[in-house]
């Protein structure tokens, strides 16, 4: 096997001597260079396209593994797979017949390792890593489902981890082997079931309806992805019996263990436990309807201050050497912003040395409308979550130091660390790393009360995000919300209101109307209206924000609990006037 290349058939039992020799020409177009993997149903080779001189992976099947029905299915699915042009699906280039009449298709050659290999080497993924990677898988599978293709065999061995390349190289998760198990009726050793052309897949990850031969739907893939996510988080699949039959029976009737139970008491965010449980419901109709719904839930989790990112491991991406493979998942949304933004009314209140709230009048504000609301000054709010995107900008020690100083409200030191990181690594002008630096400089300068500098950095970050992802991308929402906060501090209410509305619109579209980000944004907009002297507008924002907060499981110590108390107090004051 070539160093750093995928063994596309890592779970097949080897069949020595039953493969094509290097130099063999297939279909007059491809010269065999080396064997990447082989098994009971065929083999995968590294080949060179004779005319283009390009290396690709070629997968072919043994004649004995194909029936006439499966041959026709292969033809139909190969054509469909060629249409799945997506970053998170292995690219299929060509298909045809060898001189002996055996079907084949070619696909991209990937460097890296499978998720199964990563788990085996390094153990479970940190929750933040898993959430980042599985969002990508949802997007790839959603495209396949929109084309009428159900994978049927989602599992860690069919998910490949690689890098995107380029200056902003990101970790990519790619789905491989679409529909391959649906093409054959051969049985393989171990817990793999492919009988009668009706049931295909791997029992460790197979939905109850799939194992019974019932029609396989999008929700069947949701179940299999849930099993894979369970294993990525815990290191083991949710059910494992002593045989394939026993494992299938457990999927159908055994209660699902929690992530915490399987992990020996390790805590996971409640929302993550709930999502995995929903994906693994026995009844298909009780699961998320599609991959878009799963992706949205994962996206919400990626913003959670409770989501641990953990340490980033290395994967064995070659046959005989270890090389660093995993870089931190780039989550380019600053979750700290949502925490700091819960109060914008510092112009209405100052905090005394003893910690009490002292009311002072601001222009255009009636104290009767504001005295029930205790503001949380942003300089007093500790950053309670990792700023995930910054992990790509700092070394591990530098990142830990940045977290420490910002959590201690030492924003001046935070600014110096961010500037040093930019000067040391000299990120390009439009790189995502620079956007992360700029965003966090905006947060830090605001903590120092230097709102002009905060605005300059936030606006520069917004331009980069817009260029990379477009004017409605989710990355913009927190930056716009924090920029609105800065405008509010300077009594630029018209601009602030417009920015809040823009952040709210993007947030609702990206995260859902009941997401905590939306509640944070409504909280800030409500405080703007209070300061502007429009309590009737503020009331609607505060009531909706409070409703979202109360419907969420906000943990003790989270700054949002203080926001909830303040909102209730202010609304009660309005009601009792």
Burial 78-92 (b: 16+ CB within 10 A, else e): beebeebebebbbbb
Q: Would you list the DSSP string of 47-70?
A: EEETTT--EEEEEEE-GGG--HHH
| SS3 labels along 521-556 | HHHHHHHHHHHHCCHHHHHHHHHHHHHHHHHCCCCC
Helix (H) / strand (E) element for 395: namely none
Q: Which two tokens stand for residue 477?
A: 């929402």
Our measurement of the distance from residue 496's CA atom to the centroid of its chain's CA atoms, rounded to an integer in Å, reads 30
Helix (H) / strand (E) element for 159: namely strand 159-163
Catalytically annotated residue among 122, 153, 316, 377: 153
Cα separation, 424 vs 531, whole angstroms = 42
Cα separation, 316 vs 356, whole angstroms = 55
CB atoms within 10 A of CB 551: 11
Contact 348, 366 (CB under 8 A): no
Q: Which two tokens stand for residue 409?
A: 């409200």
E strand map for 178-281: 193-195, 199-201
Q: Is 21 exposed, middle or buried (0-12, 13-18, 19+ CB in 10 A)?
A: exposed
Cα separation, 443 vs 336, whole angstroms = 8
153 is catalytic: yes
Give 14's Cβ-side CA count (13 Å radius): 6
Cα separation, 138 vs 228, whole angstroms = 12
Residues near 423 by Cβ (< 8 Å), separated by ≥ 6? none
Residues near 363 by Cβ (< 8 Å), separated by ≥ 6? 491
**How is residue 558 annotated by DSSP?**
-
Determine if residue 512 is left, alpha or beta; phi over 0 gives left, psi from -120 to 50 gives alpha, anything else beta: left
Number of H helices, E strands in the chain: 20, 13
Annotated catalytic residues are: 153
């Amino acid at each position: 096997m070539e160093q750093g290349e995928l063994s596309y058939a890592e779970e097949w039992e080897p069949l020595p001597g039953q493969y094509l020799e290097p130099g063999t020409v297939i279909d007059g177009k491809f010269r065999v260079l080396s064997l990447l993997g082989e098994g009971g149903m065929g083999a995968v080779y590294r080949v060179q396209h004779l005319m283009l001189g390009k290396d690709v992976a070629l997968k072919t099947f043994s004649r004995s593994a194909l029936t006439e029905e499966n041959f026709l299915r292969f033809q139909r699915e190969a054509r469909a797979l060629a249409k799945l042009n997506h970053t998170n699906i292995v690219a299929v280039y060509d298909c045809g017949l060898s001189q002996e009449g055996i079907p084949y298709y070619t696909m991209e050659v990937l460097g890296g390792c499978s998720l199964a290999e990563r788990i085996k080497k390094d153990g479970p993924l940190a929750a933040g890593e898993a959430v980042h990677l599985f969002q990508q898988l949802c997007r790839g599978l959603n495209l396949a489902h929109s084309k009428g293709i159900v994978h049927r065999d989602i599992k860690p061995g069919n998910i490949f981890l690689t890098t995107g390349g380029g200056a902003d190289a990101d970790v990519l998760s790619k789905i491989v082997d679409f529909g391959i198990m649906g093409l054959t009726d051969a049985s393989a050793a171990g817990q793999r079931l492919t009988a009668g052309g009706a049931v295909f897949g791997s029992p460790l990850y197979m939905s109850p309806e799939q194992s019974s031969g019932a029609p396989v739907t999008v929700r069947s893939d949701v179940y299999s992805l849930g099993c894979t996510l369970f294993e990525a988080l815990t290191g083991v699949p949710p059910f494992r019996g002593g045989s394939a039959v026993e494992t299938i029976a457990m999927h159908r009737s055994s209660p699902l263990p929690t992530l915490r139970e399987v992990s020996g008491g390790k805590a996971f965010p409640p929302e993550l436990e709930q999502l995995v449980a929903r994906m693994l419901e026995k009844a298909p109709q009780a699961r998320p309807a599609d991959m878009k719904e799963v992706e949205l839930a994962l996206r919400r989790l990626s913003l959670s201050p409770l989501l641990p990112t953990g340490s980033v491991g290395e994967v064995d991406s070659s046959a005989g050497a270890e090389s660093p493979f995993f870089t931190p998942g780039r989550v380019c949304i600053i979750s700290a912003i949502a925490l700091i933004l819960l109060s914008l009314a510092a112009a209405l209140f100052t905090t005394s040395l003893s910690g009490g709230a002292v009311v002072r009048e601001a222009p255009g504000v009636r104290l009767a409308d504001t005295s029930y609301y205790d503001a949380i000054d942003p300089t007093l709010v500790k950053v309670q979550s990792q700023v995930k995107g910054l992990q790509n900008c700092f070394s591990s020690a530098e990142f830990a130091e940045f977290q420490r100083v910002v959590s201690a409200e030492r924003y001046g030191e935070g600014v110096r660390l961010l500037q040093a990181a930019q000067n040391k690594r000299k990120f390009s002008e439009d790189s995502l790393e620079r956007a992360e630096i700029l965003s966090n400089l905006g947060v830090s300068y605001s903590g120092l009360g230097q709102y002009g500098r905060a605005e300059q950095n936030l606006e520069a970050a917004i331009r980069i995000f817009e260029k990379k992802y477009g004017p409605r991308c989710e990355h913009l929402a927190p930056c716009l919300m924090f920029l609105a906060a800065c405008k509010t501090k300077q009594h630029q209410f018209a601009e602030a209101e417009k920015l809040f509305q823009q952040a709210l619109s993007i947030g609702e579209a990206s995260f859902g109307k009941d997401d905590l980000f939306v509640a944070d944004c409504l909280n800030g907009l409500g405080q703007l209206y209070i300061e502007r002297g429009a309590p009737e507008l503020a009331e609607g924002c505060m009531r909706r924000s409070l409703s979202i907060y109360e419907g969420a499981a906000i943990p003790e110590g989270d700054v949002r609990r203080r926001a909830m108390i303040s909102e209730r107090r202010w609304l009660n004051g309005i009601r009792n006037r």
